[in-house]
Structures are given as structure tokens and as C-alpha cells.
Amino acid sequence: MKLERLPNEVFHDLFEFFDPMELLHAFEGLNTRFNRLLFIYFRWYRLDFRSLSKLNFKLMCKQYLPLIIDHVSSICPSNDEETSQSYKHLIPYGLTIDEFTNLRSLLLQKINSSDTILNITSDCFYLPYLTHLKIVECTFTCGKSSQQLINNIWHIINLTHCSLDVIFARTFTFVGLPIISKSIKYLSIKKFTFSSMELTHLLRSTPSLRHIFITFAQIVNTELDRIFPIPLITSLQLQFNDSLSALISILKNMPNLLHLKLETGTINLNGNQWKQILIDYVPKIKIFRFLMKVFSFRHNNMDEQLEDFLNTFRTPFWLDDHQWFVRCDWPQHTNKVFILYTLPYCFSDTYVIYQNRWSKATCPNAHDYDSYNRVTNVFYKGRVDNLALYPRCYPNIRRLTLKLPFDNNFLTIIPTLDHLTSLNVIETRDNSRSESQLKALLVRAPRLAFLSVDVITFLQWAQSNITHASLRRLHLKHYRDRMNHYMNATQCSILADSLLGRQCEVLAIRIESRTIILDLIHKMCSLRALNCECKDDNWINNSLLCPKDELVEWLRNSLPETYSISRHEPRLVRLWINN
């Protein structure tokens, strides 16, 4: 069968398996039908600049993007370690955010310039279809720019979903917001702690809110402000570090709440007390998920106290009326802290695996919730000797942090690594055993793309020809007890000549001399992004006296002008390579 005879539906399915640049290379301009299929595809595809080489980025901006710019529905400009300052590189081609007239979703990540973010968000005023905005891993050091960011976002007329994982300036406040957003229905704000007054002003400025995710803590010795009531809110996700009276003040002003997800270390309530609060203040609640750190037990008869405490969650209200089940863990490394959480476990931040001295659940079958399917980010902290006190497994891990060698129960607790994309090895001992375990991990992780490991350990593995088909990003670091803090020319040559070095596309490294940068770029033919610290970089010591960045200037003079070279931290220089 000829390619042209395949129905459009088949092409739509096939396109999902291709990189966007590969699609454009292969099909753009063949005929009117394929152009139309590409336009339809890009209406639903996120154009992600984070994984493009500098050459492909240039080709995309110059040749392809002008053809599809009014069809793209989702984009992600960033300033991460793979594509340094990608948004700024759009400007020379006359491409700004307001040119994406069909844009529905925008993700901004790791952009370290508040002016750039403010320019982008002000361009969003002219995008009539933009409904989703997410800004993550960005920092605002000025209170005025923080205020302007919120003003810009609140001005986006049809925005319904907004997620801000942003560090605001210390002087920034939500009190006295001058603008009301009538469109925002789903709002998530991380890394900012709301007081009752801050929360009241936020709620007044977003009267259409249905779902909100915030962190709440009252300033010490301040009076609790009256929370502004919003009956439209049906879903609340709360990281809470305050008193019970403050929590009640929030809940009673959300009488139509259906979904409550709470993480707290300041409220120690048993099942009977929770039952009364839910009945009194949020009687319509359907889903209640929580994680509590409990501190209040006495040291005598600890097992008996834990059993009595857990029994308050075994009443008909919990087991029959709602089928809300909980588990209580007593970690081995602490005498005073107990972790109580609902099942299935549903908190997405890094999950630390630790040895328990006591662990029980209220579900009828003790093994019903042993599989923690929703946990994707795990830190395997130490040994787990007693599986009876840790009867659970994690089958969907995407990011794993661990020490090598690991214990014999590791493969029982983490039975599969089919979804693993990132592996961070923070310590290695017993080199022969660690090496064999790493090889086994690589074999069991077919999708692994990122590896962070100690330099000395990596060099030993590299010389034994360890390889992996999908591994493309390396972060080579030095543990505190290592004497050699920078890689020399010989070590870098071993890296460049290794199988992993030849296929590496993104590299983070510390080196003795700037000339090594030139050698790495010359030898590592797949390299498209290099993030490095140089021992002979003197800019950090002289930056106040000499604003000229001598190392960056030296690199620009030594490399083709098509390379993007910039400084991002006092000692970190990033190169976006034109491969």
C-alpha cells in the first residue's frame, strides 16, 4: 500500500510517535494534504523548546514556525540546562508570544529574568483563546515586579487555569490587589505562604474560583482575620501549618466543598474529632485526603496508644459511610513523629522510603493498598529490613534518588523501573557491588534519560563500557569526601571517548580548565548543551570591580557565533551548541 492511501486517522496516530522536528522534516511541503494534517496535529501538540538543539531551534524559527504559528495551541519556552534563554532567541525572528494567536496553554520554566516573564505575560493580553498558564521554577526578587506579574495574569481575559510555582519577593503581598479576575477557576500557588488577611484578599480578587491550592500559616502573635466566604469553591488543596481554629475559619467559609486534600504538621486530630469537623463545617464533602505528622503521644505504651488512635478511624463513618482508609507509620529514625495518611497515597512530592518500627492500616484487607501507584518520585533513603512493616511497592517511579549499594529488599519494594527517566545516585560504597547494581538498574530502566553520579564512580564505570540506549543527559558531581573537585583533561578525555559520552546530549560538569570545554565540544559529537563550572573562572571574585565577564567573552571568541553562551549563576556557564 502506498503511503498516500492511508486514511487521515492513521497519520494522526502515527504522528504521536514522532518528534515534531522529524515530522516537519519528513512531511512539510510534500503536498496540501500533509500540510493540512500537520496543522491539525499542531493545534493539539505542545511545542516544547526544552529538548531542541540550537540548530533545530534555528530551523524551527526560521523555516517552520512561521507556517504553523497560528495553529500551535501549546508552547513551553524555558531557560533550563538544555535550551538556554530560548525565548530570547525567538525575538530576532520576529516571533513573540502574541503571534501564537491560537494558543491555549503556556508553560514558562526556569526563566531567571523577571522582565522577560513580565513581557511574555503582557503579550498574553492579545491571546483570546489562552486558558491555561503555568509558571514554574522562576524567581522574583523585587516586590514591584511580583505585583506586576499578578496584575498581568489577572488581566488575561479568558484565563481559567493558573499554576504558579514561583519564589516571590519577600515584600510582595496579595493584600490590596487592584484587579479582579472573573475568569480564573483553578488556581495553584506554591512557595508563598498565605495568612488569613492574604487569603481574604486573594479570594476577593478571584470570585469565580472553584479549585484552589495554597500554603497557609498565620504570622506569630497576629490576630486571625475573617476569611472571605466563597460558596463556589468545591475543591481545596492545602499545605497547612497553623492552628485548628484557623483551619475551621477556612472550612466554614467554603460550605459547598466536595474535595479536601490536606497536608499538615500542626494539627493532631483523631478520627472522631475529624468526623465532627467535617460534619459541622463541610457537610457536602465527598473526598477527603490528608497527610498528618503526629507529635503528641506519650512515651509509655506507645504501641497501645497507636492502636487506640487508629481505632478512631475504624468507625462506621470512616469505613462504611465514606470508605476512607488510613495508614499510620512510625519511622525507625524518630521516637516522636508518626505519619498518618489516607489510602491510596496521593501526594506527589518526593516520597522518602524508610524503615518502620510500627505500621498498620484500617482497610479490611491489609494488602489492598500496598501498591503506591501514584508515587512517581522516590528517595530510597536507607535499608528496609522488615518487609512486614513495609508491605508496599512503587511500580510507577519516574525519578529515583538512592545510595549504592542498595539492600536486598530494594527490588521487592521497587519491582519495576519501566517508567524511570531520572536516576540520581547520591553515594556509592563497595565499588564492585555498586557497579554491578548500576548495570542491573540500567538494564531494567529502558526509558532512562538522565543520570546524576559521582565523577570517580562514573569514570570507573565508563572504562568498563557501560552503555544505555536512551540515556542522553549526564550530571557528573563530586561527593564531599572526594579530594578531586574538578575534572582534569585526562578524565574528560575518558568521558568523551566512552560509549555514554559519545551519545550524551546534555552534560553538567566541573572542570579544571576552560580549554577542556573546547575539547569536549570537539569530541562529543552528540552534545547540544553544556553546563559547566571552571576552576580558572575568576569572574566571581572580580565581578564587582570588573563587570565584563572574561570567561564568557573568551568562549564567545573561541567558538562559532552561532553558539549561545551565558552565565546563570556566579560560577555556572551554559552553552547551547549549534549541532
Write out pLDDT tens, residues 180-208.
Answer: 999 999 999 999 999 888 999 999 999 99
Identity of residue 262 = L
H or E element that contains 502: helix 499-503
H or E element that contains 185: none
Parallel, antiparallel, or unpaired for β 351-353 and 377-380? parallel
The set of cell numbers assigned to 233 is 469553591
d(CA 339, CA 474): 35
Q: Helical H runs in 282-391?
A: 302-311, 316
The set of cell numbers assigned to 19 is 518528534
Q: Whole-model pTM?
A: 0.86
Task: Collect contacts of 300-307 with beta carbons under 8 A, ≥24 apart.
Answer: 302/330, 302/358, 303/358, 306/330, 306/338, 306/358, 306/360, 307/360
Q: Please tell me the predicted confidence (pLDDT) of residue 540.
A: 60
Beta-bridged to residue 188, according to DSSP, are 163, 213
Helix, strand, or coil (residue 356): strand
Domain boundaries, the chain: 1-42, 449-579
Question: Which residues lie below 8 Å from residue 218, measured CB to CB, with a gap of 6+?
Answer: 195, 196, 224, 242, 243, 246
Region for residue 348 given its phi and psi (left: phi exceeds 0; alpha: psi -120 to 50; beta: otherwise): alpha
d(CA 509, CA 521): 13
d(CA 411, CA 409): 6
**Which portions of the chain are predicted below pLDDT 50?**
none
Question: Which residues lie below 8 Å from residue 486, measured CB to CB, with a gap of 6+?
Answer: 510, 511, 512, 533, 535
Q: Helical H runs in 451-498?
A: 455-462, 489-497
Q: pLDDT digit string (tens) for 295-312?
A: 766 667 777 888 999 999
The Cα diameter of the chain in Å comes to 80
What are the Cα distances from residue 45, in Å, to 6, 25, 102, 104? Answer: 22, 16, 12, 11
The DSSP letter of residue 7 is: -
Parallel, antiparallel, or unpaired for β 564-567 and 573-576? antiparallel
- Summarize the chain as % helix, strand, coil (round to 5): 35, 25, 45
Task: Collect contacts of 561-564 with beta carbons under 8 A, ≥24 apart.
Answer: 562/54, 562/55, 562/58, 563/54, 564/54, 564/84, 564/85, 564/89
Parallel, antiparallel, or unpaired for β 74-76 and 46-48? parallel
The set of cell numbers assigned to 115 is 522582565
* Cα–Cα–Cα angle for 240, 245, 246, rounded to 5 degrees: 40
Q: Please tell me the predicted confidence (pLDDT) of residue 522.
A: 94
Q: Are 315 and 272 spatial neighbours (Cβ–Cβ below 8 Å)?
A: yes
In the numeric block, the cell 483523631 is attached to: 270
Nearest to 206 by CA among 226, 191, 223, 228: 228
Q: Please tell me the predicted confidence (pLDDT) of residue 426.
A: 86
Q: How many CB atoms lie within 10 A of CB 221?
A: 5
d(CA 229, CA 22): 52
Q: Please say whether the dihedral angle defined by the alpha carbons of residues 200, 202, 208 and 210, taken in this order, is positive or negative.
A: negative
